[in-house]
Amino acid sequence: MTCLDIAQCRHKRKSSVVRLTFDRLCDMLKDMNVSEILRKNSFATKKKFGQNFITDVNLLAAIVDDAEIESSDIVVEIGAGAGTLTAALAQRAKKVIAFEIDKTLKPVLHETLDGYENIEIVFSDILKVAPSELKKLAGGSFKVVANLPYYITSPVIFYFLESEFPLISLTVMVQREVALRMTARPDTSDYGVLTLAVESRADAKITRSVSRKMFFPEPNVDSAVVRLTLNDGIPNRKTFDKLVRAAFSCRRKTLVNNLMQSFGMPRAKAEDLLVSIGVDVKVRGEALDKEQFLALANKMDEETI
């Protein structure tokens, strides 16, 4: 991993050690003109990295608020980009460790983050960083904040949710469609495998919708900010995940039919399992909530299915 020590080029700003109000944070960020900084450094965005930088100062401050960043927090940011969100986080957090895959952003980050003493930029693909290395960098519990490129949304989220990190929360900017799927309720078209994969690990909440006009360059879709607060998880992960995948393998089929197909069980057995947890045998998988899936997974484990 290649690191950029922002503290080495300090002569403008120092991070605040007290909690900044929303208005004060906006005021401190107002001079950041992303498109102008990129132009000055002859930087061209790269499609392969899904680079869409946040340009709205109010949005930057709002994300920091949504993430509930405090002056004692260690923050891991995924995708430093032009450094605007990094700077907003650093104004309130104790330390920001920002990962960026594109090394050609070095001169841009030198300019936007010049003078901050509590930022460490790591030029590396977060998905290739060993969890043990990240734990060492963070040195304790941390919060994740990210404006995620759409093409790596799920891999990054589950990198954090599935590893044994001392993680407090994740606050991520994602495609609005993905945000709706992450926070969907049973018996809706958005409800599915992603919903339950997230819900069984964290409590998810959409904190705000974001117009595509708040980015440079402007993407083709609108976004949303989602905050994931880690919960206690579930004990029988393997069975639960296999069951959920089976339940949604063919949405038009009943849950009984999907259980028969995925687990090779007779119809009578599949129906008995549903009856045992108080579920109608004609129900589709999309009608069950997390607790019902968990009850069914527990029953299957009891009967060694």
Tell me the C-alpha distance between 124 and 79, whole Å. Answer: 10
State the DSSP H helix or E strand holding residue 288, giving kind and residue range, or none if neither.
none
Question: DSSP state, 41?
Answer: T
Which token pair is 184? Answer: 């969907």
List the domain range (segments joined by +) for residue 247.
237-302
- The confidence score (pLDDT) of residue 8 equals 43
Report H helices in the chain: 22-29, 34-40, 57-66, 84-90, 106-112, 131-138, 153-162, 176-182, 193-199, 237-247, 255-263, 267-276, 290-302
Count: domains in the chain: 2
Whether residue 19 sits in one domain with residue 137: yes
Helix, strand, coil share of the chain (percent; to 5) = 45, 20, 35
Query: For residue range 97-140, what is the model confidence (pLDDT) as tens digits?
Result: 999 999 999 999 998 898 899 999 999 999 999 999 999 999 99
Whether residue 262 sits in one domain with residue 165: no
Dihedral angle over CA of 89, 148, 142, 88, nearest 10: 0
- The confidence score (pLDDT) of residue 13 equals 44
Whether residue 265 sits in one domain with residue 195: no
Tell me the C-alpha distance between 217 and 168, whole Å. Answer: 31
- The confidence score (pLDDT) of residue 304 equals 82
Which of 178, 208, 230 terminates a domain? The answer is: 230
Whether residue 75 sits in one domain with residue 25: yes
- The confidence score (pLDDT) of residue 181 equals 97
- The confidence score (pLDDT) of residue 126 equals 97
- The confidence score (pLDDT) of residue 7 equals 47
Cα–Cα nearest to 294, from 206, 231, 205: 231
What CATH code is carried by the domain that includes residue 69? 3.40.50.150
Angstrom distances, CA of residue 160 to CA of 138, 171, 182, 183? 13, 12, 15, 18
For the chain of 305 residues, list the mean pLDDT of each consecutive stretch of 10: 56 43 56 71 80 88 96 97 93 97 93 92 97 96 94 95 95 97 97 97 98 92 97 94 97 96 96 97 97 97 87
Whether residue 104 sits in one domain with residue 173: yes
Tell me the C-alpha distance between 298 and 285, whole Å. Answer: 16
Tell me the C-alpha distance between 128 and 4, whole Å. Answer: 18
pTM over 0.85: yes
Angstrom distances, CA of residue 93 to CA of 20, 31, 70, 85, 156? 10, 20, 6, 12, 22
Query: How many CB atoms neighbour CB 304 within 10 A?
Result: 5
Which of 192, 214, 230 terminates a domain? The answer is: 230
Tell me the C-alpha distance between 114 and 160, whole Å. Answer: 29
Which of 173, 206, 230 terminates a domain? The answer is: 230
Which token pair is 303? Answer: 């009967």
What is the three-class DSSP state of 112? helix
Tell me the C-alpha distance between 54 and 218, whole Å. Answer: 9
Whether residue 88 sits in one domain with residue 12: yes
B/e letters for 226-253, b = 16+ CB within 10 Å, e = fewer, are: bbbebeeebeeeebbbbbbbbbbeeeeb
Whether residue 70 sits in one domain with residue 129: yes
What CATH code is carried by the domain that includes residue 289? 1.10.8.100
Tell me the C-alpha distance between 204 and 228, whole Å. Answer: 5
